[in-house]
Structure 1
Amino acid sequence: MRALVVEDDPDLNRQLGRALEDAGYAVDAAVDGEDGHFMGDTEPYDVVVLDLGLPKMDGVTVLERWRQAGRDFPVLILTARDRWSEKVAGFDAGADDYLTKPFHTEELLARMRALTRRAAGHTTATIECGGLSIDTRGARVFIDGAPVKVTSHEFRMLSYLAHHQDRVISRTELVEHIYDQDFDRDSNTIEVFVGRLRKKIGTDRIETVRGLGYRLVDPVARPVS
C-alpha cells in the first residue's frame, strides 16, 4: 500500500514517514501544497495525509483540485486544534477524516488503516482469504493461525492483493502501489516477489492470469476448470 504525506513541518513529516514505513506502507512526502498537489495528481496513492496549513498552496485548495480532477483516494486532513472552521472546509472540499494537532501517531495509523479498508470494501483490521490472514494493524501474515515471515515489500504486495482480492491486478499496478516514488522500479521484480510469496503461503493462493496479472484467491473455493 502506498501513502503520500503532505506536511510542511520537516520533523513531523519525517516522523510520519518513518511510522508509515514501519506499518508497511511505501511512502512519498511533500513539504508544500504545490508539490503535494502535483504528486497526488500524477501518482496513484492508497491514502493521503494532508496538512491544511501549507505554503505555496493551502491544503483545502489542494484537496479541491484533486477532487475536481477525479482523484478519489482517501484523504486524512491535519488541522490545528482551535481551527474548527478548517475541519468544516476540509470536509466540504472532500476529506474523509481528520486529526487535530498534536495527535498520537497510533491514532493516525489506525485511522489510515480504516480509510484504506473502507475504500477497498473491508470492515476489519484483519483480512481473511481461505486460511490466509493479513493483519493490517501489525503488518503480519498468518496461515491457519501460524505466523509467516515476510519482507516489507512482500507484505506490501500481499496486503494490496488482499485488499483487492478476486480482482486481477496488473504488474504495473502492483509496481505503482508497493514502491515509493524514488525507488528504482522494475516490473520484473514483481515476478520475484510473487515466487517468494508462493513458497511461503502456498503456490495456489496467488493465481497468474496470463497477459493480465495476478489475483489472490481462496484455493479451496476456487472453481474447478
Structure 2
Amino acid sequence: MLEDDPFHAELVGSWLRAAGHTCTVTESGEAFIRQLGRESFDLLILDWVIPDIAGDEVLARVRTMLSDMPPVMFVTSRDSEVEIAMILRAGGDDYMVKPARKLELLARVEALGRRRSAGENDIIEAEPYRIDTAARTLFMHGEPVVLTNTEFELARYLFRNVGRMLSRGHLLESIWGRSANVNTRTVDTYLSRLRKKLSLGPETGWRLSAIYQHGYRLEHMGIRSREGAAAAE
C-alpha cells in the first residue's frame, strides 16, 4: 500500500490484517517502486496525492516494470469524475474516495481477488511443460511428472508468475499459508527438488534463478541463451 498519511495507513492496514491479509505500507512513490522490485504482491493500493511521485505516475511506472500486473486499487481524496475515469483508463482496476469505509474496502479487495482468479486458465502451456490445474497434473514432453501436492502448487505458482521475482516469504505464505509452522529453508529445499524433477535448465529452456537475499525468479531462457549455456558446458 502506498499511503503517506500515517493514520490512514495504520487504519486500512489494520482492517486488511484483521481480514487475514498481509499488508506492507510505504510512504513515498520511490520507496514503493523499490519495494516492488524486491517483493511480489497480489494487490496494490495507491494514494494519488504523494509528496515525491503522484499516484498516476507510480501506476505508469509500475506497469512498465511488471510483466504480470496485479490488480490496482486507488484510495484517495481526489473525487472528480474526470480524475476517476483517467485512472481507470490508465490501468487502475478500482477506485475509492476517502474516507475509506471498512466493509466496502474489504469487499472490493475480495472482488478484485476473485476477478484475478477467474481470469486464470485451467491449462498452463509452457513448452515442454503442460500444467492441468484442474486435474492437478504436470506433463513434461507429454509425460506426467510425479509431484507431491506441495511441489505441484509450487510449479503452478511459478509458471503463473514467469519473470516475477518471488520472495521466499511470499512463496511461503502463498503455498503453505500464514499459519504454517515452516521456515524459508523449506522453500529452498522444495525448489531445489522441483528444479531437478522438472530439469529446469538449458535442456528445457527454463531457468529458476535464486536472487541473493531476495528470492527466486522463473524465466524462459530463449534459444540464444540456451545455445550459449550448452557451449559453455
> Shorter-chain TM-score: which interval?
0.5 to 0.7
Are positions 1:175 and 2:172 aligned together?
A: no
**How far did residue 42 of structure 1 move?**
3.5
CA distance in 2 between counterparts of 1:91 and 1:13 reads 22
Amino acid at match of 1:35: A
Q: Quick one: which of 111, 115, 120 aligns to 1:118? A: 115
Tell me, what secondary structure is at the counterpart of 1:27? coil
Larger CA deviation: 43-52 vs 73-82:
73-82
Q: Which residues of 2 match residues 107-186 of structure 1 at below 5 A?
A: 107-121=104-118, 168-169=156-157, 175-177=169-171, 178=173, 186=183
CA distance in 2 between counterparts of 1:166 and 1:121 reads 19
CA contact (8 A) 1:6 1:33 kept: yes
Tell me, what secondary structure is at the counterpart of 2:13? helix
Amino acid at match of 1:73: P
Number of the residue aligned with 2:10: 14
**How far did residue 186 of structure 1 move?**
4.2
Structure with max Cα Rg: 2
**How far did residue 188 of structure 1 move?**
2.7
User: Runs of 5+ in structure 2 lacking a partner?
Assistant: 121-133, 135-149, 159-165, 175-181, 197-233
CA distance in 2 between counterparts of 1:118 and 1:58 reads 27
**Count of residue pairs brought into register by the alignment:** 152
Q: Deviations over 1:114-138 (max 9, x none)?
A: 1112112279xxxxx9xxxxxxxxx
Q: Which structure has the highest strand share of the two?
A: 1
Name the TM-score, length of structure 2 as normaliser. 0.54
Are positions 1:51 and 2:51 aligned together?
A: no
Name the TM-score, length of structure 1 as normaliser. 0.56
CA distance in 2 between counterparts of 1:187 and 1:16 reads 28
User: Runs of 5+ in structure 1 lacking a partner?
Assistant: 124-128, 130-160, 180-184, 195-207, 214-225
Amino acid at match of 1:168: R
**How far did residue 81 of structure 1 move?**
5.4
Are positions 1:28 and 2:16 aligned together?
A: no
| Percent identity of paired positions between Structure 1 and Structure 2 | 29
Q: Quick one: which of 69, 85, 89 aligns to 1:88? A: 85
Tell me, what secondary structure is at the counterpart of 1:30? coil
CA distance in 2 between counterparts of 1:89 and 1:189 reads 44
Shift in CA distance, 190/70, structure 1 to aligned 2, threshold 3 Å: closer
Number of the residue aligned with 2:71: 74
Shift in CA distance, 77/187, structure 1 to aligned 2, threshold 3 Å: same
Aligned-pair Cα RMSD in Å: 3.6
CA contact (8 A) 2:76 2:97 kept: yes
CA distance in 1 between counterparts of 2:86 and 2:10 reads 26
